[in-house]
């Protein structure tokens, strides 16, 4: 624990990868509804090309859920989703899977939180090893083209695995407006660099700029239960019963925002055009994800409630 208060000594280039889930000039995003968690995950990923695209066999994977605290989902990622993702990765031939994160400063320790919210149990029961980022080393990554954050200190685990699966939950956030794929990366950054310590007046832009330091191979977004008001610690929950999958963080966040906006309860999202959200606009400007005209939204199976929600998402996002 003590080492988290020291400046990292190792340096590296950003951990980047190609978005494999595309079609022509379009980045793909799949959304599947239902009640079978594993089935929804597989359906959503299949819509955009399938797990086969990752060539998982024999590789080491890092699964990064949202473990901001020890609270249950939707404050944190649903442990059922964590367990199902681990199980699927092994079924597709992964050699080893780690599940890791670092909680917010006010809620440490991460290990205690993972025990309390059930993520540790779900990960281990399905064969993954739990890792706590504050117990390991940090890597310094230069980000010279950014405006607000020029250097990122990130967990060494970004460089110790072959594949990274970003596994956030859909939720609102009192300081960052919302927290989905872009915001989930903050758990990979050093506590010295949490956005409120850098510049609280540009919290959202800083969240997006940190994402220049890495690119996950796949984003699987937990929308089984979404937080539609409040956050990040607690808030109003809604049973949205869906999973989002994309190689593009902007696309995934836009659809997640479309879901939050459809309920009309959170002014920071409901009263703003999704593409004008600072996290989204900054991420697009930094080349982190695609703009609205280069995203193709694909829908999978779902009941009438799912179809109605997705109709609202398309209206809210323009996708």
pLDDT confidence of residue 9: 67
2: pLDDT confidence band, cut at 50, 70 and 90?
A: very low
CA 204 to chain centre: 15
Domains and CATH numbers, the chain: 2-317 (3.40.50.11440)
197: pLDDT confidence band, cut at 50, 70 and 90?
A: confident
Residue 145 carries which DSSP code? Answer: T
CA-CA distance, 157 to 31, in Å (whole number)?
28
CA 160 to chain centre: 19
155: pLDDT confidence band, cut at 50, 70 and 90?
A: very high
**Burial classification of residue 270, based on how many CB atoms lie within 10 Å of its CB (0-12 exposed, 13-18 middle, 19 or more buried):** middle
Provide the terminal-to-terminal Cα distance of the chain, rounded to the nearest Å: 44
pTM recorded for the entire structure: 0.97
Among 41-50, 105-114, 236-245, 257-266, name the one with the lowest average pLDDT: 105-114
Which residues make Cβ contacts (< 8 Å) with residue 116, sequence separation at least 6?
Answer: 70, 71
Tokens representing 155? 């967990």
Do 164 and 20 form a contact (C-beta atoms < 8 A)? Answer: no
CB atoms within 10 A of CB 292: 15
C-alpha count within 13 angstroms, C-beta hemisphere, residue 37:
18
pLDDT confidence of residue 196: 84
Measured in degrees and rounded to the nearest 5, phi and psi for residue 137 equal -80, 165
pLDDT confidence of residue 3: 52
Could you give the percent of the chain with pLDDT greater than 90?
92
195: pLDDT confidence band, cut at 50, 70 and 90?
A: confident
Report the chain's C-alpha Rg in angstroms.
18
CA distances from 158 to 18, 130, 154, 231 (A): 15, 15, 8, 27
Is the pLDDT score of 1 beyond 60? no
- DSSP for 67-124 reads -SSSPPTTSS--HHHHHHHHHHHHHTT-SEEEEEE---GGG--HHHHHHHHSHHHHHH
Q: Tell me if the bond preceding 109 is cis, omega within 30° of 0.
A: yes
Report, as an integer, the average pLDDT of 297-309: 95
141: pLDDT confidence band, cut at 50, 70 and 90?
A: very high
Helix, strand, coil content of the chain in percent (nearest 5):
40, 25, 35
CB atoms within 10 A of CB 286: 17
Residue 139 carries which DSSP code? Answer: E
Which residues make Cβ contacts (< 8 Å) with residue 293, sequence separation at least 6?
Answer: none
């Amino acid at each position: 624990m003590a080492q988290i208060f020291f400046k990292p000594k190792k340096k590296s280039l950003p951990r980047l990868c190609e978005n494999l889930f595309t079609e022509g000039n379009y980045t793909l995003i799949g959304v599947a509804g239902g009640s079978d968690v594993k089935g929804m995950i597989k359906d959503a990923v299949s819509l955009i090309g399938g797990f086969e695209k990752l060539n998982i066999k024999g590789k080491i994977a890092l699964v990064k859920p949202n473990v901001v605290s020890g609270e249950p989902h939707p404050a944190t990622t649903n442990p059922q989703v964590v367990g199902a993702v681990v199980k699927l990765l092994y079924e597709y031939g992964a050699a080893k899977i780690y599940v890791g994160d670092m909680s917010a400063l006010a809620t440490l320790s991460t290990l205690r939180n993972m025990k309390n919210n059930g993520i540790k149990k779900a990960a281990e029961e399905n064969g993954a090893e739990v890792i706590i980022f504050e117990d390991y080393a940090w890597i310094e990554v230069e980000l010279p083209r950014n405006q607000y954050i020029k250097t990122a200190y990130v967990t060494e685990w970004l460089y110790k695995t072959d594949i990274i699966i970003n596994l956030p939950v859909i939720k609102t956030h009192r300081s960052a407006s919302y927290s989905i794929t872009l915001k989930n990366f903050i758990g990979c950054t050093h506590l010295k660099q949490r956005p409120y310590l850098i510049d609280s007046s540009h919290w959202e832009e800083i969240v997006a700029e940190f994402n220049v330091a890495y690119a996950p191979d796949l984003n699987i977004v937990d929308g089984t239960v979404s937080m539609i008001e409040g956050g990040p610690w607690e808030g109003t929950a809604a049973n949205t019963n869906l999973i989002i999958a994309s190689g593009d963080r902007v696309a995934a966040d836009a659809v997640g925002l479309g879901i939050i906006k459809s309920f009309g309860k959170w002014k920071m999202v409901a009263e703003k055009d999704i593409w004008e959200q600072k996290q989204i606009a900054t991420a697009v400007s930094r080349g982190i994800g695609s703009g609205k005209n280069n995203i193709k939204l694909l829908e999978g199976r779902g009941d009438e409630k799912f179809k109605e929600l997705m109709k609202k998402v398309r209206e809210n996002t323009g996708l």
